[in-house]
């Protein structure tokens, strides 16, 4: 094989030309073994399944009846898989050492390849070939799994790279920093514009959402807010609708995020008569499900404590959901009417007598307060984690444990 006086592709060309089919097959097999034994593998599997699950339950809500148990079973299997991998890593020291050496060797190979791409024409053909020949020795040692050999070949490659590429190796540090910066930017974009986690801090949305539930918020469905503003330049999918559970910046206490249910949209007149919601004079159907339901709330000083409530199923413009109310004698007989202004929504908690919502100034107690569209961060979609009353290991953490029964529950 002939190379010109300078060869921008000399390193990769020489490396590719000298890799035998057997070596390539062994490298691919090793790569898949490492992927499957990575601690990230169970998380990647869950993530890949989670995306179609979110789409499915959002557009075909009734599919949650069968898809949620499947996701819970998959999560349980991946948890066992993760624990098995962790146990294997802790009990097999050689595997841990070999994994670290392989990672170091691959980072060095990637660094040399990046430098060749960054400074084409400046590295001599002879230097590229020498580096490629030593890189072949490193790759062969990676596949062999022999720790002393891999360590020796990697050190030799590192020394050769320093000798032939020393000045450019120092510059490569900035590329690594740039790579981290790009990854951070992607994470920020996802969190700001696509999806964001939110933890339920109080019992105002019981029984739909319990304290300690962690939900994912759809950030784009109503339109993307410009960062550090309460301005939504345009609508993407649709406007907030009655029955949606939304997370929003409290317009009265701007440093606090709330999660409530949309009850009234622009132009609606909302009132409550003996606990029954009426929209534009039309009573919203509700059915008593349990006259004495026990739910668990939490106080910072008292910890978990039981509450007795009446459980209803409410049909809010075709969207059925659970609500809690006090016994009739303890209710406020009439609330409202509240006329919802343009560009705003009227919200209430599902725990109707224990919620700082639009009826009570969103926590201020200073009269009605509506939520402007620009303050809405997004729509709650699904519970992805639940650390609440009861569950796994609750005896060790003052009653708080992992609630596997609530994992992947759609927010309705």
Q: What DSSP line would sit under 129-156, residue for residue?
A: HHHHHHHHHHHHHHHHT-HHHHHHHHHH
pLDDT tens figures, 117-140: 888 778 888 888 899 999 999 999
On whether both 103 and 75 belong to a single domain, the answer is yes
Local confidence band at 8 (pLDDT 50, 70, 90 cut-offs): very low
pLDDT of residue 344: 96
pLDDT exceeds 90 at position 67: yes
What is the count of structural domains for the chain?
2
Q: What is the mean pLDDT of the chain?
A: 89
Share of the chain above pLDDT 70, in %: 95
On whether both 140 and 230 belong to a single domain, the answer is no
Residue 411 lies in a domain: no
pLDDT exceeds 80 at position 14: no
Sort residue 370 into left (φ over 0), alpha (ψ -120 to 50) or beta: beta
pLDDT of residue 226: 79
pLDDT tens figures, 228-269: 788 887 777 899 999 999 999 999 988 899 999 999 999 999
Residue 188 lies in a domain: yes
Residue that finishes a domain, picked among 193, 225, 247: 193
On whether both 119 and 38 belong to a single domain, the answer is yes
Q: Which among 7, 204, 356, 358 is annotated as catalytic? A: 204
Instruction: Give CA–CA dist 162/301, Å, rounded.
Output: 61
Instruction: Give CA–CA dist 392/403, Å, rounded.
Output: 7
Residue 359, CB-side half-sphere exposure with 13 Å CA sphere: 22
pLDDT of residue 103: 93
Residue 288 lies in a domain: yes
| Structure tokens that stand for 293 in this block | 């339901």
Local confidence band at 75 (pLDDT 50, 70, 90 cut-offs): very high
Local confidence band at 334 (pLDDT 50, 70, 90 cut-offs): confident
Residue that finishes a domain, picked among 175, 193, 211: 193
| Structure tokens that stand for 281 in this block | 């004079």
pLDDT tens figures, 85-123: 999 988 998 888 999 999 999 999 998 988 888 887 788
Residue 283 lies in a domain: yes
103's CB contacts (< 8 A; 6+ apart) are: none
On whether both 161 and 258 belong to a single domain, the answer is no
Pairing of strands 344-348, 195-199: unpaired
Local confidence band at 80 (pLDDT 50, 70, 90 cut-offs): very high
Domain that residue 22 falls in: 10-193
pLDDT exceeds 90 at position 179: no
Average pLDDT (177-184) is: 82
On whether both 222 and 187 belong to a single domain, the answer is no
On whether both 168 and 117 belong to a single domain, the answer is yes
Residue that finishes a domain, picked among 165, 193, 221: 193
pLDDT tens figures, 187-212: 888 888 889 999 999 999 999 999 99
87: three-class secondary structure by DSSP: helix
Q: Which among 7, 128, 219, 260 is annotated as catalytic? A: 260
Q: Is 204 a catalytic residue?
A: yes
Residue 412 lies in a domain: no
On whether both 324 and 393 belong to a single domain, the answer is yes
pLDDT tens figures, 260-299: 999 999 999 999 998 899 999 999 999 999 999 999 999 8
On whether both 393 and 364 belong to a single domain, the answer is yes
**Cβ pair 242, 387 in contact under 8 A:** no
pLDDT exceeds 70 at position 329: no
pLDDT of residue 168: 79
On whether both 354 and 216 belong to a single domain, the answer is yes
Give the containing element (helix H, strand E) for 214: strand 213-218
pLDDT of residue 170: 67
- CATH number for the domain spanning 209: value is 2.10.109.10
On whether both 121 and 255 belong to a single domain, the answer is no
Residue 166 lies in a domain: yes
Give the containing element (helix H, strand E) for 43: helix 40-59
Pairing of strands 276-279, 282-283: antiparallel
pLDDT tens figures, 359-390: 999 988 888 999 999 999 999 999 999 999 99
Share of the chain above pLDDT 90, in %: 63
Average pLDDT (149-164) is: 94
Residue 150 lies in a domain: yes
pLDDT of residue 7: 43
Q: Is 219 a catalytic residue?
A: no
On whether both 307 and 243 belong to a single domain, the answer is yes
pLDDT of residue 171: 60
Higher pLDDT, residue 22 or 327: 22
On whether both 344 and 209 belong to a single domain, the answer is yes
**Cβ pair 270, 337 in contact under 8 A:** yes
Residue 291, CB-side half-sphere exposure with 13 Å CA sphere: 1
Residue 107 lies in a domain: yes
**Cβ pair 404, 392 in contact under 8 A:** yes
**Cβ pair 153, 141 in contact under 8 A:** yes
């Amino acid at each position: 094989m002939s190379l010109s006086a300078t060869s921008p592709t000399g390193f990769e060309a020489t490396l590719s030309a000298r890799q035998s089919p057997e070596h390539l097959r062994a490298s691919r097999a090793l790569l898949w073994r490492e992927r499957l034994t990575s601690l990230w593998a169970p998380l990647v599997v869950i993530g890949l399944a989670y995306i179609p699950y979110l789409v499915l339950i959002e557009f075909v809500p009734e599919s949650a009846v069968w898809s949620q148990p499947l996701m819970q079973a998959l999560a349980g299997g991946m948890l066992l898989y993760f624990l098995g991998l962790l146990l294997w890593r802790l009990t097999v020291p050689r595997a841990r050492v070999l994994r670290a050496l392989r990672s170091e060797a691959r980072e060095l190979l990637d660094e040399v390849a990046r430098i060749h791409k960054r400074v084409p024409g400046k590295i001599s053909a002879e230097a590229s070939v020498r580096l490629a020949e030593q890189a072949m020795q490193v790759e062969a040692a990676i596949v062999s799994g022999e720790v002393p050999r891999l360590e020796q070949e990697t050190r030799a490659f590192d020394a050769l790279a320093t000798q032939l590429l020393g000045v450019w190796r120092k510059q490569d540090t900035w590329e690594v920093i740039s790579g981290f910066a790009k990854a951070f930017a992607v994470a920020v974009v996802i969190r700001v514009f696509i999806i964001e986690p939110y933890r339920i801090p109080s019992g105002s949305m019981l029984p739909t959402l319990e304290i300690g539930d962690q939900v994912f918020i759809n950030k784009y469905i109503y339109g993307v807010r410009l960062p550090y503003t309460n301005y939504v330049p345009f609508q993407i999918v649709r406007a907030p609708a009655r029955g949606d559970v939304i997370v929003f910046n409290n317009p009265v206490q701007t440093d606090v995020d709330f999660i409530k249910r949309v009850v009234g949209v622009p132009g609606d007149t909302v009132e409550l008569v003996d606990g029954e919601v009426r929209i534009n004079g039309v009573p919203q159907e509700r059915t008593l499900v349990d006259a004495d339901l026990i739910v668990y709330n939490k106080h910072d000083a008292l910890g978990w404590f039981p509450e007795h409530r009446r459980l209803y199923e409410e049909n809010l413009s075709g969207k059925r959901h659970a609500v809690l109310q006090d016994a009739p004698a303890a209710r406020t007989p009439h609330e409202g009417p509240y006329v919802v202004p343009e560009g705003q929504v009227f919200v209430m908690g599902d725990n109707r007598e224990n919620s700082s919502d639009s009826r009570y100034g969103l926590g201020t107690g200073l009269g009605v307060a509506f939520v402007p569209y620009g303050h809405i961060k997004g729509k709650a979609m699904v519970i992805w984690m639940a650390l609440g009353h009861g569950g796994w290991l609750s005896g060790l953490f003052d009653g708080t444990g992992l609630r596997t029964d609530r994992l992947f529950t759609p927010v309705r």
